[in-house]
Copies of this chain bind each other. A is one copy, B any other.
């Protein structure tokens, strides 16, 4: 059994999804695990992780529209407006998606399905630096 940890930072430009599949796969390759589990964790409460269809970008623009309507910026129900109209929606959107995801490692590779991509979802409308840690436990 072996343990490996890697991390990287994504500089986001604005609200939206950022493909981090390759960043995570690079850490998995560096770990030299043949079999195992990669657990991805984002160290923030206004950005999150999703595994999403990776072929047609309209899937992610539709997701954006859906969540934008479900949790509107500037919703007068929200008291927490310290950092702007997108502040509290970003926290709600994070809660409704994922902060950590565990993915199997098979044959030294991230065992995602054919149409699965791993994305960091920036929920704030302004640029941020987002730290992601990948923990590999393997054999």
Contact = CB atoms under 8 A, between A and B. Distances in A.
Number of identical monomers bound together in the oligomeric complex: 3
A41 interface: yes
Contact of A45 (B44, B53, B103, B138): B53
A65 to B, nearest CB: 6
A99 to B, nearest CB: 5
A131 B116 CA distance: 13
Interface string A41-52: 101111000111
A37 interface: yes
A58 interface: yes
B77 A62 contact: yes
Interface stretch (A8-16, A18-26, A89-97): A89-97
A95 B45 contact: no
11 contacts: A3-B35, A43-B112, A43-B113, A43-B116, A45-B115, A45-B116, A56-B82, A63-B91, A66-B71, A70-B70, A99-B116
Q: Top 8 closest A-B pairs, CB basis?
A: A43-B113, A3-B139, A1-B1, A58-B80, A39-B102, A58-B79, A45-B53, A100-B102
